[in-house]
Amino acid sequence: MILFSNNTSSRSKTDRYFSWSLRVLALLAASLLVLVIGFILRESWMALTQVGLSRFFTDSGWFPTEHSYEITPMISGTLLAACGSILLAAPLGILSAVFCHFYAPPILGLWYRRMIELLAGIPSVVFGFWGLVVLVPLIAAWQPPGPSLLGGILILTLMIIPTIMLIAHSSISQVPTTYIKNATALGLSRWAVIWRIVLPVSRVGLLTGIFLGLARALGETMAILMVCGNVIQYPSHIFDPIRTLTANIALEMAYALDHHRSALFISGLLLMVLVIIFVSIAEVLRHKSPYVVAK
Amino acid sequence: MAALTFLRPFLSLSLLVGFLCLFGPFGVWPLAQAQEGNLVITGSSTMAPLLLEIGKRFETRHPGTRIDVQTGGSSRGIADVVNGLADIGMASRTLNPQEKHLHGAVVARDGIGMILHTSNPIQELTNPQIVDIYTGRIRNWQQVGGHDAPITVVNKAQGRSTLELFVQYFKLSNRDIQAHVVIGDNEQGIKTVAGNPNAIGYVSIGTAQYDASHGIPIHLLPLQHIPASVETVRAGTFPLSRPLTLITKSSPTGLTKTFIHFAQSPEVHDLILQQYFVPLQN
C-alpha cells in the first residue's frame, strides 16, 4: 500500500522524488519493528525449544541459576502496577484537562499545562531516585518494608498523568465549539455539557491517551526497579513488594548466561505480547464510539 | 535558489545515506578482535572501576597499548575468556571446580559486610541469627534484642557474585531466602538501608565504609566478633571476604603477562585503596 498508492496529485519531479524517499524511510522504520521482534524471538529461541514455554507458567518459582523459570508472578506484578496506576492517573489526568480547559482562568490554565508538560519531560530515573529516597522511606515508616506495589503505582501515576492529561486536553479542545454553544443555549449546566457532550465526543482521544499511558506504564523500568522491591511473588496486599517483567530484565541481564539470558528474552517477548494486546483493545474500542463526530 | 530547489529531493536521500554511514559501523564494532597492543578485559562489575584505572596507568606507561574494560559479571568474564572473546576475565569470586583449569592471578581482596541503619541499636548478630533473619524465621528485631519493629530483609538479584558468596558462606539456598527488597548494585543497597531504619543488607565493605564515613546513616556489623573493616579484610581474618582475580585461559604470555604483573605490583596499590579494596601484601 505504502509503496504503490499513487496519492500525490502533484506531477512535479520534486514531489515524486520526495514521496519516494519518504516511502523508503517509512519502510525502514516499519522494518525496524520487524527486526526487533525477530531478534527477540531468535534470542529466546533457546529457552523456547530447550526449556519449553509451558515451564514458564508451571515451574515452582524463578530461580534461573537452578533451572526454574516461573514467570507468572512477574506478569501479575507488571499488570497490577500498570493497571493500578491507570486507575489513579486516568481520572486525575482527564479531570485536570477538563479543569485546564473549562474552569481555570486562561493564565492559570496556560501555566498549569506548561507545568504538566515539564512533568512529562522529567527522565524516569529521576522519578525513580526521588521515589527511592523520599517516597519509599515514607511508606516504610507507615507500612514496612517500604518498596512496594504501592510505591510503583504512585511513581507510575506521576509518570503517566502528563501523557493522559495532554492528549485528553488536545482532544477536548477539538470538540466543535458549536456543540458547546448549542448545549449552553439549551440551558445545560457547565458540568452537564462536559459530562454529556464533551467527554463522550472526545472519547477516542481520551482512550488513546489512557492506552498510551498504559503502554508507558508497562514498559517503565528504571523507576519501577528502584521503588518496587523486586521480590518475585504474588502480592497479598498493596504494601507487598513485587517485581515487574522489565525490572527482571534490567536486574539480571548483565549477569545472565545461556538459558538464564534466553529466559530473560522470554520476559521481553511476553511484554511485547501484553503491549500488542492492549494496543489491539484500544483499536477495537476506538471504533465503538457512541457519537459520530461531524467534521 | 533554483539550484536549491533542484537539490531538495535529494535531501531525504542524503539523510538516509548519512544514517547508514552513522549506524553501519556499529554492526561491525563489537566483533573487533583483540590485536597487538590491545587487551580486552571483561567481567565482574565490582572489579571494573579498578581495572579501568589500572588500565589507564598501564596505557601511559606502555604507549601504543589499549586496555578495553567491559563489565557484565564474574560469570560473563569467565565465559568470555573460555570463548576467546576476552584476553582477561575479572572474577570477584573463587573459581568453581569446573573452572579450575583456568589460570587466575589475585590482585586484591574485597569483603562483604552486613549493614544496618545507624538508628538500629543492634551491634552484633551471630551467624545463625543472620541465617534465621534471611530465611524468615526471625521477623522482628525484638527477637535479637532490638526494638519492636519488623525486619526488612534486603537481598541481591540472582547472578550477582555478592549474592553467590553470601549464600555460599551462610550455607543458604536461594529458595530459602525470604527477602523484602531485591536490589542490583551496592549503592542501591546502601540507599535502601539508609532509607529504612529496620532494614538489613549486605554490600562491599569498601563501599560501605566509605559511605558510612561520609555521613550516610549505616553501620557495618562484625562477623564472628571480627570487625568488618578494610584492615581485617587485608589481614584475611574477616570471614566473609573474597579475592579479586584476573582470569586467563592458560598461563599468561606477552602483553597479557606484562599487564597482570603490573596489576599485582605495588605500583597500583594506591589505585586499589582508592576503590576501597584491599591490596595483597607482597
* Any B CB within 8 A of A229 CB: yes
Say whether B270 sits in a helix, a strand or coil. helix
* Any A CB within 8 A of B44 CB: no
Structural domains counted in chain A: 2
* Chain centroid to CA B7: 54
Say whether B137 sits in a helix, a strand or coil. coil
ipTM score for this prediction: 0.70
Cell numbers representing residue B27 in the block: 554492526
Q: Are residues A162 and A29 in the same domain?
A: no
Is A60 within the bounds of a domain? no
pLDDT of residue A291: 54
The percent of residues in chain B predicted with pLDDT above 70, rounded, is 85
Contact B8 A14 (CB under 8 A): yes
pTM reported for the whole predicted model: 0.72
Q: Could you tell me which residue, B250 or A7, shows the higher pLDDT? A: B250
pLDDT of residue B125: 92
Q: What is the radius of gyration, based on Cα positions, of chain B?
A: 24
Integer CA distances (angstroms), A187 to A99, A172, A202, in order: 21, 21, 21
What does the pLDDT average to over B191-203?
90
- Whether the Cβ atoms of residue A167 and residue A113 lie closer than 8 Å to each other: no
pLDDT of residue A152: 93
Q: Is the pLDDT of residue A231 over 70?
A: yes
Q: Which residues contact A132 (CB under 8 A, 6 or more apart)?
A: A226, A227, B188, B191, B192, B195
pLDDT tens digits for range B59-87:
999 888 999 988 777 888 898 999 889 99
Instruction: Burial-class residue A19 by CB neighbours within 10 Å (0-12, 13-18, 19+).
Output: middle
- Whether the Cβ atoms of residue A115 and residue A162 lie closer than 8 Å to each other: no
User: What distance in Å separates the CA atoms of residue A75 and residue A73, rounded to the nearest whole number?
Assistant: 5
Residue with cell 579484610: B233
pLDDT of residue B45: 74
Q: What is the radius of gyration, based on Cα positions, of chain A?
A: 23
What does the pLDDT average to over B143-162?
85
Give the model's confidence band at B15: pLDDT under 50 very low, under 70 low, under 90 confident, else very high.
very low
Is A65 within the bounds of a domain? no
pLDDT of residue B256: 92
Q: Which residue type sits at B262?
A: F
Q: Are residues A255 and A114 in the same domain?
A: yes
Length of chain B: 282
Q: Is the pLDDT of residue A289 over 70?
A: no
Catalogue the long-range contacts made by A111-118 (C-beta closer than 8 Å, 24 or more residues apart): A113/A166, A113/A169, A116/A161, A116/A162, A116/A165, A116/A166, A117/A162, A117/A166
Contact A147 B180 (CB under 8 A): yes
Instruction: Burial-class residue B59 by CB neighbours within 10 Å (0-12, 13-18, 19+).
Output: middle
pLDDT tens digits for range B119-132:
999 999 999 999 99
What does the pLDDT average to over A279-287?
78
CATH code, domain with A89: 1.10.3720.10
- Whether the Cβ atoms of residue A232 and residue A190 lie closer than 8 Å to each other: no
Q: Are residues A36 and A137 in the same domain?
A: no
pLDDT of residue A244: 92
Q: Chain A partners of B158 at a C-beta cutoff of 8 Å?
A: 62-65, 252, 255, 260
Highest mean pLDDT of the ranges A120-124, B207-211, B259-263: B259-263
Average confidence score pLDDT of chain A: 86
pLDDT tens digits for range B221-243:
999 999 998 888 888 889 988 88
Give the model's confidence band at A233: pLDDT under 50 very low, under 70 low, under 90 confident, else very high.
confident
Where are chain B's structural domains?
A: 40-109+242-279, 111-235
Q: Is B111-235 the same fold as B40-109+242-279?
A: yes
Q: Are residues A24 and A160 in the same domain?
A: no
Tell me which residues of chain A, numbers 245 to 264, contact chain B at a CB-CB cutoff of 8 Å.
Answer: 250-252, 254-257, 260
What does the pLDDT average to over A125-142?
88
Where does B111-235 sit in CATH, by number?
3.40.190.10
Instruction: Name the phi and psi angles at B221, rounded to 5.
Output: -95, 145
Q: Which residues contact A91 (CB under 8 A, 6 or more apart)?
A: none
Q: Domain containing A80: what range?
A: 72-286
The yes or no reply on domain B40-109+242-279 and CATH 3.30.930.10 is: no
- DSSP state for residue A174 in the 8-state scheme: T
Of A14, A251, A260, the CB nearest to B9: A14
Chosen for mutation from B117, B181, B186, B198 (greatest number of chain A CBs closer than 10 Å) is B181
- Whether the Cβ atoms of residue A235 and residue A150 lie closer than 8 Å to each other: no
Q: Are residues A94 and A12 in the same domain?
A: no
* Any B CB within 8 A of A133 CB: yes
Is A138 within the bounds of a domain? yes
HEC readout, B189-252: HHHHHHCCCCEEEEEEHHHHHHHHHCCCCEEEECECCECCCHHHHHHCCCCCEEEEEEEECCCC
* Any A CB within 8 A of B76 CB: yes
Tell me which residues of chain B, numbers 113 to 172, contact chain A at a CB-CB cutoff of 8 Å.
Answer: 149-150, 152, 157-160
Integer CA distances (angstroms), A183 to A97, A100, A104, A194, in order: 20, 20, 20, 10
Give the model's confidence band at A8: pLDDT under 50 very low, under 70 low, under 90 confident, else very high.
low
Of A16, A66, A251, the CB nearest to B184: A251
User: What distance in Å separates the CA atoms of residue B189 and residue B101, rounded to the nearest whole number?
Assistant: 34
Average confidence score pLDDT of chain B: 82
* Any A CB within 8 A of B32 CB: no
Q: Which residues contact A190 (CB under 8 A, 6 or more apart)?
A: A102
Picking from A153, A233, A127, the residue whose alpha carbon sits closest to that of residue B181 is A233
Q: What share of chain A is helix, strand, coil (3-state, %, to 5)?
A: 75, 0, 25
User: What distance in Å separates the CA atoms of residue B172 and residue B127, rounded to the nearest whole number?
Assistant: 11
Q: Are residues A90 and A36 in the same domain?
A: no
pLDDT of residue B57: 93
pLDDT of residue B282: 52
* Any B CB within 8 A of A22 CB: yes
- DSSP state for residue B266 in the 8-state scheme: G
CB pairs under 8 A between A and B: 113
Q: Are residues A168 and A43 in the same domain?
A: no
pLDDT tens digits for range A67-90:
888 889 999 999 999 999 999 999
User: What distance in Å separates the CA atoms of residue A21 and residue A293, rounded to the nearest whole number?
Assistant: 35
